[in-house]
Copies of this chain bind each other. A is one copy, B any other.
Amino acid sequence: MEVLRVFKIGGSVIEKVENLSLFLDKFEKVPGKKILVHGGGKSVSQMSERVGLPVKMVDGRRITDADTLEVVKMMLAGVINKNIVSGLQARKANAIGMTGADANVILAHKRPKVKGLDYGFVGDIDQVFGGTLRSLIDLGLLPVLAAMTHDGKGQMLNTNADTVASAVAVALVNYYKVELVYCFELDGVLKEITDPTSIIYEIDKTLFEGYKSSGVIHKGMIPKIDNALLAVQKGVASVRICNALKVDRISHQPYTTGTLIH
């Protein structure tokens, strides 16, 4: 089967125009079929503050009330998505910006209260329509997905970008050999956060358990790798966590960047 790579970017890579431009230069160089999923949480927080909305986070997760959802639409589906799409078009990649509502590619439901806590308009994914994404890719298009979903009843929902990326990757395993690539600021998962050269090159289920129990891998990286291992279990060929600005190396053999999860 043909290789399709699903990339996820977020954080400082997309918030600063200069960084985004550097990333797109590298991303454009990766050959083959691609999908790009993006978040944009910082810009949502910044715009929320600018319009006087309180930013509510619980355990690093955003409480998306109705007003905040409008800001998510503005920044993710509006500003960031169109910055990426126009930037890719300038590099002759035929990008098409989407949310999960567009062409109904990702159906979700509003998350029920968790121990009495209402996350607001946050969507938990029910289904990704991989066939629709494949039809768009077959037209020569490169889907650029803002991390938003919808409930099919007219409600847009805010959804974690890592989760969108893995769900999209899994939905395409019947059509492609899917590689999932999480791009971030570092060269990979590090053994020592203060030592950028201490990259863990490989993680599998057994190694992960070891790293977790010894405390080498902790905090926010745990759900990311849980997600990755789940994607592998569901048929994704590999998951890589690597530096957004070195993403062009992803197609090199042997790989020279990032942490491989398999």
Contacts and interface: CB of A to CB of B under 8 A. Distances in A.
Provide the main secondary structure of the chain A interface.
Answer: helix
Interface string A78-93: 1101110111011000
A7 B97 CA distance: 21
Interface in A113-156: 132, 135-136, 139, 141, 148, 150, 152-156
A70 interface: yes
A96 interface: yes
A101 B82 contact: yes
Size range of the interface on A? 35 or more
A185 B62 CA distance: 39
B89 A78 contact: no
Interface of A: 47, 50-51, 70, 73-79, 81-83, 85-87, 89-90, 94-99, 101-104, 132, 135-136, 139, 141, 148, 150, 152-156
